[in-house]
Structure 1
């Protein structure tokens, strides 16, 4: 895949920041492009105030405030690295932006597109652009991505807060501030509601290609145990967008479980898969909620289904808001005016925080319940 200009700018800024001053010809060799391309890039970055240029060399700018580097007076600058700016993370980003704006800060955004191998370069690009603190939602997908692509976060020269990501015990990232949704609680809300409606142990239809999907799967195990339920069926995978054949296999597995009488309820991650699953089951003669009660997980578009779907709604906007507020405090630029990296008496650094926000269950027609009243979640800290 051809490198974009933004990616090349990030690498150029990283090289200049590491070296302090670098010759254009040396940068061209390191970047694998022509000197003409580097000169053009340097002109662009100089106009933005991100580098200084003189006599065939490029230098890191003299110390200045982040706001001055970005051309916005003295406003503090926060960087946000997200795997996507749509679907789930749109609300997280909006929440962070709102909190930053209330504090008089500026938020700048980079997107990794779920390519964890590019997260580090994106974060360094944010720092090069003037960010003095980072909100980071790594683009991890599989179980091994954290170990392979995560340790660099603990080495950043600026305060960082993890967004919607848990880490393995003993990980170098375990001591970082983080704010995330408690997906295990969200799954428990869904299963407890379905069991309360008279259903036997609900089935789980879930992906395995994102941290949220993996957390939903782990939460399902915990919820079955907490409710004293036996495993009703292996987890069904039905990824509608990336594997049409796998989606159809998942549909057939669920159809068989329903028509054989082994299942009357299912929790489906995510909304899009849930909507397409219900559509396909309807074509096969399975009625929702008559034959199968369905709860979706994410609540992005669940309410727009033909039969509005009951859904677990993680507090995405609040996650972004609280993460930005925590970063501002840690950075010492909170609206309260007290540097928060010190305790109240100034004696020692303030304790790091892991904030877990509880999802809500929004009850609609797909589970056969009555009036749609959301079951509220709240915030826990631990």
Structure 2
């Protein structure tokens, strides 16, 4: 790290905490105490800080070191498995919250690779981030996530969207996530309220599939719906056959089981399902009702799809805000866990219909 970067970090530390202790700061960031003392002496000679026993404080009592206009209080890093779909919203939300708090956000993608995930962590630390928002690469088997690497980070960490990973019980990090289980429940409840007593599940996304399945089964049991229905849930990357063939087989099973409604766990699968139903001459929702998970494109299809909208922007914003709080307010070490709730947008594809009791047209 360059001298200028190290001294800028020292100033940010004093701005946030009102002081800096040489021994603790040097140990946290891996510098020698002599190097930090020299930096503090240089900053004091420039009139930026006042040296005290064991460290330094702002030049004027209680003044702090707020950045000048056009500068930032610090930098937050955000690592995501990919920058598309759900995580594009997380990135936007985190970026806006960071800017509002006076911080810069830098984003890196792990490409759902453990090796790249580790490399991104190293790059961000080398670049001098002050806090980290970390969305683990889910399903990057066979390599497990190196939680020791996360534990040893010298900056506050907020874990973002870890499902379905099990977090270590001793991990001292905040967590912000979407309640995917609740999302499945509200989809089933909506279909049941519109008169569908037999609802199937098609969950092809390994990031959310198993959690959606738990919420689906819970709602079916609570509402006393028929449980003998088709369920598809792919829990790991690489487990799933081609999506198109899976959709065709699923619809065939629904036809055999006299099921006329489904909760579909991805917009890509829902689009294929619509196409397959149209080819078979089936109408949505008259012959088959659909609620899709995610609202990126659900309202733009030929038959607008009812959707469980994800709180992506809010997840990113809350994660960034929580990280800033850890940096600036010295919150207690006890970590927080926030689960943000999706909500349902009802459209044409799931409306109640008198035609739902008749046989669905055959899927070829």
Match for 2:9 among 48, 52, 65?
65
Where 2:268 maps in the other structure, the secondary structure is: helix
Could you say if the C-alpha distance between residues 233 and 67 of structure 1 is closer, same or farther in structure 2, counting changes exceeding 3 Å? farther
Q: Which deviates the most, 200-209 or 356-365?
A: 200-209
Bigger relative CO (Cα 8 Å, ≥ 6 apart): 2
Tell me, yes or no, if the aligned pair for 1:309 and 1:367 is still in contact at 8 Å.
Answer: yes
For residues 181 and 80 of structure 1, the distance between their equivalents in structure 2, rounded to whole angstroms, comes to 17
Question: Any idea what the Cα deviations from partners look like across 1:228-258, whole Å, max 9, x if unmatched?
Answer: 334333423699xx99963343233333234
Higher Cα Rg, which structure: 2
Q: Structure 2 CA distance, aligned partners of 1:244 and 1:182?
A: 23
TM-score (ref. length: structure 2)? 0.73
Quote the Cα distance in structure 1 between the aligned partners of 2:243 and 2:81.
24
Gaps of 5+ in 2: 13-69, 354-364
**What is residue 159 of structure 1 aligned with on the other side?**
156
Summarize the alignment of residues 181-220 of structure 1 with structure 2, pairs less than 5 Å apart: 181-210=178-207, 212-220=208-216
Distance 2:255 2:198 in 1: 16
SS at match of 2:339: strand
SS at structure 2 position matched to 1:325? helix
Q: Who is 2:139 aligned against?
A: 141
SS at match of 1:296: strand
Aligned 8 A contact 2:195 2:352 in 1? no
Deviates more, 1:96-105 or 1:272-281: 272-281
1:317 is aligned, of 309, 313, 317, to 313
2:336: which partner in 1?
Answer: 353
2:346 to 347, 363, 370: 363
Deviation at 1:63, TM superposition (A): 4.1
Shift of 1:226: 2.8
In structure 1, the residue corresponding to 2:231 is in which secondary structure?
coil
Change (3 A) 1:142 1:184: farther
The residue number in structure 1 matching 2:232 is 236
Counterpart Cα distance in 1 of 2:11 and 2:272: 46
Matches within 5 A, 1:1-382: 50-51=1-2, 62-65=6-9, 73-141=71-139, 147-166=144-163, 167-168=165-166, 170-173=168-171, 175-210=172-207, 212-236=208-232, 246-260=242-256, 262-332=258-328, 339-341=329-331, 349=332, 351-369=334-352
Contact 1:112–1:122 (8 Å) recurs in 2: yes
Distance 1:322 1:148 in 2: 24
Cα displacement string for residues 77-101 of structure 1 (whole angstroms, at most 9, x for unaligned residues): 1000011111111111000001011
Contact preservation (8 Å) 1:184, 1:223:
no
Q: How far 1:116 moved relative to its partner?
A: 2.6
What is the Cα deviation at residue 142 of structure 1? 5.9
Alpha-carbon contact 2:230-2:253 (below 8 Å) kept: no
2:74 and 2:103 in contact (8 A); partners too = yes
Q: How many residues align?
A: 295
Deviation at 1:170, TM superposition (A): 4.6
* Cα distance change on mapping 1:284 and 1:74 into 2, 3 Å: closer
Q: Which residue of 2 aligns with 1:42?
A: none
- Judged with a 3 Å threshold, the aligned counterparts in structure 2 of structure 1 residues 355 and 157 are, in CA distance, closer, same or farther, namely same
Tell me the distance in 1 between the aligned counterparts of 2:303 and 2:146.
41
Distance, in Å, in 2 between the alignment partners of 1:156 and 1:226 is 43
TM-score (norm. length: structure 1): 0.70
SS at match of 2:232: coil
Q: Secondary structure at the match of 1:65?
A: helix
